[in-house]
Amino acid sequence: MDNIEHTKNYRFAGYDTVELAKKYGTPLYVLSEEIIRSRCKELKSDFLDKYENAKAAYASKAFLTMAMCKIIESEGLGLDVVSGGELYTAIKAGFPMDKVMLHGNNKSYEELEMAISNDVGRIVVDNTEELYIIEEIAERQDKSVKVLIRIAPGVGGNTHKYITTGQKDSKFGVPLAKDTIDEAVAKAMKSKHIELLGMHFHIGSNLFENDSYIAAIDIVINLYKRLKDDFGFIAKEINTGGGFGIYYTKDDCVKPLSYYTDSIMKAIEDKCKELGVDIPAVIIEPGRWIVGEAGITLYSIGSVKEIPGIRTYASVDGGLPDNPRPALYSARYDAVVANKYDQKPDRQVTIAGKCCESGDILIWDLKVPEIKRGDILAVFSTGAYNYSMASNYNRIPRPAVLLLTKDGEKVIVERETYEDLLSRERVPF
């Protein structure tokens, strides 16, 4: 890296990214505390403070560490967790448990027990059987558990099929069939240890339109009306999930938060008034929208291979293990050569990861200036579903996570070492 030509370096959140790469090594996840907090503040001003009946939880699957819990707590948001590990992180960070919501299509008995004994604020029930388990645990612990029932509203989001979740044929949620829903609602209403507050749906992730939210709201409020008529059930809440789209490449037509939330609130109010149903509190749970654009990943360029007349591959020192999204859902990213930020991108290269997989391509056909070994690549919008989805494939240690704060940069997750990779192994001979 010493032979980097120092022209104008790319700065992220006020920091020179080339200097960060030099100091902390690559690959390196870099997160801006200021950007995360500014998203939380926008959420407050444009949703929580604007509507009396609005609540928000950060979907921690997007990115979770104890430091992140602290930021989310101080911004006054709730936390959505989806596993014992995410819940454990929140507990260890001292996150207020009454603001935690447990999700999951296959929560284990132990996870439910952990959630109930720690008094989590909500459990989002995915199937009727789960209600029986919750009741048994709650009865034994002499607790009352607040639940929402996740339904599959039969609405697909316009996004990759692996991140649409609200369609009929989905592993998530109770199907909208009358008997199935009624069985779950009747069970919850009958239980002395369960307080049913309403329904939850999550249509999909990285959505750029609001029409699927509106369609799903119509279905849920119709259901509230029917449940009121049939069971006398008065829903106090509706959770419309997360999924708001963010900027990855110039083709993404990003909308402000209020584009989604104003239409969600209006659709709920209009439909409730139309049907004579009480207007419930509305919970949203964005993940990507809060943290996605707050993160970048810094890589060092290694081998550069030109296949004459076909393409040039520039390989980085990470890839699939730190960002599986391109391989998983053909996700697209944009990037710059950080140490040549002022140079004209006059050629095209394909950014390859270092894994033994042909599918380990981070970015096809990226416009760059002349690129060579030792250059630093900054890939944008990697704050969500990168660190949280990272693996050790090919025994590649996970990168460090660096948080850029007003008081300097702080390592919030240390870089894994080769020793870490072996630390849980036992050799029985």
Q: Which is nearer to ligand PLP, 27 or 78 (CB)?
A: 78
Segment near ligand PLP (CB under 6 A); pick from 56-64, 215-223, 275-283, 346-354 = 56-64
Q: Does 325 bind ligand PLP (CB under 6 A)?
A: no
- Decide: is 78 part of the binding site for ligand PLP (CB under 6 A): no
CA distance 428 to 414: 30
In the complex with ligand PLP, the residue whose CB is nearer, 206 or 210, is 206
CA dihedral 187, 191, 197, 203 (to 10 degrees): -40
Closest CB to ligand PLP among residues 292, 353: 292
Phi first, then psi, for residue 397 (nearest 5°) are -65, 145
Q: Which two tokens stand for residue 41?
A: 């503040």
- At 302, list the tokens: 């290694």
Distance CA 362, CA 330 (A): 9
Q: Is 113 in the site for ligand PLP (CB under 6 A)?
A: no
Q: How big is the CA angle at 300 (ends 296 and 306), to the nearest 5 degrees?
A: 115
Q: Which of 194, 244, 248 is nearest to 56 (CA)?
A: 244
Kind of pairing, strands 28-32 and 400-405?
parallel
210 binds ligand PLP (CB under 6 A): no
Are the C-beta atoms of 143 and 173 separated by less than 8 Å? no
**Beta carbon of residue 160, minimum distance to ligand PLP (angstroms, whole number):** 11
- Select the residue interacting with ligand PLP from 107, 202, 325, 398 (CB under 6 A): 202
Instruction: Work out whether 103 is an interface residue with ligand PLP (CB under 6 A).
Output: yes
d(CA 378, CA 297): 6
Identify which of 274, 267, 278, 170 has the alpha carbon closest to the alpha carbon of residue 233.
278
Is position 101 an interface residue for ligand PLP (rule: CB under 6 A)? no
User: Smallest gap, in angstroms, from Cβ of residue 237 to ligand PLP?
Assistant: 14
DSSP run (H or E) holding 354: none
**What DSSP string describes 178-228?**
HHHHHHHHHHHHH-TTEEEEEEE---BSSB--SHHHHHHHHHHHHHHHHHH
- The reply on whether position 243 binds ligand PLP by CB under 6 A is yes
Q: Which among 8-16, 263-271, 280-288, 312-320 is the span making contact with ligand PLP, rule CB under 6 A?
A: 280-288
CB of 110 to ligand PLP, least distance (A): 21
**Is the omega angle on the peptide bond into residue 27 within 30 degrees of 0, that is, cis?**
yes
CB of 43 to ligand PLP, least distance (A): 12
Nearer residue to ligand PLP within complex by CB, 164 or 297: 164
Q: Applying CB under 6 A, does 264 fall inside the site for ligand PLP?
A: no
DSSP code of 338?
Answer: G
Alpha carbon of 10 to those of 310, 322, 339, 387: distances in Å? 29, 21, 7, 22
Among the listed residues 12, 71, 73, 80, the single contact to ligand PLP using CB under 6 A: 80
Q: Does 73 bind ligand PLP (CB under 6 A)?
A: no
Q: Does 173 bind ligand PLP (CB under 6 A)?
A: no
Q: Closest approach of Cβ 367 to ligand PLP, in Å?
A: 28
Is there a catalytic annotation at residue 69? no
Q: How far is the CB of 303 from ligand PLP (least distance, A)?
A: 34
Q: In this chain, which of 73, 111, 135, 285 binds ligand PLP, going by CB under 6 A?
A: 285
Q: Measure CA of the first residue to CA of the last residue in the chain; give whole Å.
A: 42
Q: Which backbone phi and psi does 63 adopt, to 5 degrees? A: -170, 120
Which of 253, 272, 355, 356 is labelled catalytic?
356
**Is residue 205 close enough to count as binding ligand PLP by CB under 6 A?**
yes
Q: How far is the CB of 288 from ligand PLP (least distance, A)?
A: 3
Q: Which stretch binds ligand PLP (CB under 6 A): 5-13, 26-34, 201-209, 297-305?
A: 201-209
Q: Which stretch binds ligand PLP (CB under 6 A): 186-194, 209-217, 222-230, 279-287?
A: 279-287
User: Does the footprint of ligand PLP cover residue 148 (CB under 6 A)?
Assistant: no
Stretch that binds ligand PLP, among 127-135, 287-295, 316-324, 406-414 (CB under 6 A): 287-295
Question: Across-strand partners of 283?
Answer: 55, 239
Sign of CA dihedral 151, 220, 62, 67: negative
| Total chain residues near ligand PLP (CB under 6 A) | 19
Is 283 in contact with 198 (CB distance < 8 Å)?
no
Q: How many helices (H) and strands (E) does the chain have?
A: 12, 20
Candidate list 78, 242, 295, 318; residue touching ligand PLP; CB under 6 A: 242
List interacting residues with ligand PLP (CB under 6 A): 59, 61-62, 80, 103, 165, 202, 205-206, 241-244, 285-289, 384
Active-site annotation, residues: 356
